[in-house]
Amino acid sequence: MKEYGGEVFDLGYQHYEGPREGRMRARKALWINGMRTAIGLGRGTRAKLLPALLFLIVIMTAVIISLTAAAADVGEEFANHADFYRIISVVLLIFSAIIAPELLCPDRRDGVIFLYLVRPLTTTDYIIGRWLAFFTVTFALIIIGQVILFAGLTLAVDEPFEYLKANWLDVPRFLCAGIIIAAFTTTLPLAVSAFTTRKSFAASFVIGLFFITAIIAGIMTECDYSYDSDSESFDYGSNQQVCEPITGDAGKWLGLLDIGEISDHVTDLIMDDENESQVAKQVSQLPAVVPILWYLIMTVGPGLILLHRYRRLTA
């Protein structure tokens, strides 16, 4: 009978003896990965172009406003922090619509989502991690521009220290307003992205939603200028003209349909500033609690839909 011998080889396998960070470490890794994805790190050159372009637009907008204010010697009267938000709002919305799907769609299309959701991560961990990653990038974009603008407006006046003493409250205001804007522009595109694996479909839907609702709200709040009852004649260029929306009293409610201005209505209240757009003027006639509640509905609502959608996908 033939005998067989055996050998034992020491291949160097060792037990892991380092710290076991568990669930929190996985959450942190997901957050960092999401931020890298949003700004294009670890991906091709094309993926970096849009985030880099947006950073450039935000910074240059703040620099140009500051330089113009300094050259005109008008300081705060030329432009303020609320104006800056309005200028970059369209660019920010387009950026969010295009980049947000990058954080969710590929994971579901390629089946990576199920690898993420092995223990200890849960669907809630995954969604919160992705949401926080995109929120962090969006908020950083907003605040970088605001800090540059604040510094520029401070240096544009003859007495910077007096300007700081008179306007230091602008800092907590634009920080709070930045959180409001970043939360909205983060949540809605991510919620839309939860219903498709095609990034282009999600981006097109969100961009279309912004522009279509802006057009509808603009039409519904369009003014039919009439005579002032206290005036003997109509002067289109004077303060005697009276704006009567073609939809009547319903115009101030229909102005809420403009998705792109939902956060603007709240930030105007925070910044104590008057928006000159026709839609904003109509909405400003409503009690302040109305646009605040509408913002919460349009932010918290999509967020809950996003969570529910992912829990169903992995149920």
* Structural domain boundaries in the chain: 23-313
Pairing of strands 223-226, 242-245: antiparallel
Q: Residue 245: beta bridge partners?
A: 223
Share of the chain above pLDDT 70, in %: 83
Question: Please, which pLDDT band fits residue 160 given cuts at 50, 70 and 90?
Answer: confident
pLDDT of residue 82: 81
Cα separation of the two ends of the chain: 57
What's the one-letter identity of residue 186?
A: T
Range of 34-38, 81-85, 120-124 with top mean pLDDT: 34-38
Spatial CA neighbour of 241 closest among 229, 259, 249, 257 = 229
Separation in Å, CA 73 to CA 67, 84, 140: 10, 18, 29
Tokens of 31: 């957050």
Q: How many CA atoms lie within 13 A of 27 on its CB side?
A: 14
| pLDDT tens figures, 201-223 | 999 999 999 999 999 988 888 87
Tokens of 140: 């950083």
Mean pLDDT of 125-150: 92
| pLDDT tens figures, 171-211 | 999 999 999 999 999 999 999 999 999 999 999 999 999 99
Question: Please, which pLDDT band fits residue 1 given cuts at 50, 70 and 90?
Answer: low
pTM for the full predicted model: 0.84
CA distance 48 to 36: 10
pLDDT above 90 (res 71): no
Spatial CA neighbour of 69 closest among 57, 79, 59, 61 = 79
Q: 50 — phi, psi (to 5°)? A: -65, -50
CA distance 34 to 28: 10
Tokens of 265: 């209505």
pLDDT above 50 (res 139): yes
Cis peptide bond prior to 120, omega within 30° of 0: yes
What DSSP string runs through 220-260? HT-EEEE--TT-SS--TTSTT-EEEETTGGGHHHHGGG-GG
pLDDT of residue 238: 47
pLDDT of residue 61: 84
Q: Computed from CA positions of residues 136, 138, 144, 150, in that sequence, does the dihedral angle turn out positive or negative?
A: negative
CB 296 within 8 A of CB 266: no
CB 149 within 8 A of CB 67: no
Question: Please, which pLDDT band fits residue 296 given cuts at 50, 70 and 90?
Answer: very high
Separation in Å, CA 261 to CA 65, 308, 313: 22, 26, 32
The more confidently predicted of residues 250 and 106 is 106
Mean pLDDT of 137-142: 91
pLDDT above 90 (res 83): no
* H-run or E-run covering 282: helix 278-283
CA distance 254 to 246: 11
Spatial CA neighbour of 288 closest among 270, 261, 302, 301 = 270
| pLDDT tens figures, 212-266 | 999 998 888 887 665 555 544 444 444 456 667 777 788 788 888 999 889 988 9
pLDDT of residue 164: 87
pLDDT of residue 3: 61
Q: Residue 223: beta bridge partners?
A: 245
pLDDT of residue 101: 93
pLDDT of residue 73: 53
Tokens of 207: 């961009």
Spatial CA neighbour of 92 closest among 222, 21, 186 = 186
CB 267 within 8 A of CB 180: yes
